[in-house]
Amino acid sequence: MANSKGKRRRFGAVRKLPSGRFQARYQGPDGLTRSAPETFASQTDADRWLVRKEAEILDGKWKNPDDKVLFGVYADAWFKDRDYAATTCERNGSALRLHILPTFAGVVLSEITTPQIRRWRADLLESGVGEPTVAKAY
């Protein structure tokens, strides 16, 4: 849809609200239209926010703001869906229970980062957990 100057934005939309502030909206990779969590004092601020949001999407770093699944809930469901042999089930279940869930069970899945994983691995090794066990948990 064209704006008042007759030009169409390439990504997202900005509109002026009756309050005089500006609202930024965009279509996420999931197909839903999402609004910025706040309004902006100027159109330039709203434009900049949209540019950053588009960059997140293009870089694959966009996180669904509605996605708040805890790692522990996801891991339990994932583990139950596996068809492991008895010994593999015991080994992987043990690694999950003893080494992974104590650190990550209460963390939102989408918020776990590579540096957190590296720190977790280093902490396991520093605490005396054997390299083969750490490797299997990793």
Is pLDDT at 1 greater than 50 in this prediction? Answer: no
When computed from its CA atoms, the radius of gyration of the chain, rounded to whole angstroms, is 22
Per residue in 78-106, pLDDT (tens digit) is 888 888 899 999 999 999 999 999 999 99
What is the predicted pLDDT for the residue at 48?
96
Q: Is the pTM of this model over 0.75?
A: no
- 52-66 tens-digit pLDDT: 999 999 998 888 777
Sole residue written with tokens 């008895």: 86
pLDDT of 39 above 50: yes
Average pLDDT taken over every residue of the chain = 89
- The arithmetic mean of pLDDT across residues 36-47, rounded, is 95
The answer to whether 9 touches 25, Cβ cutoff 8 Å, is no
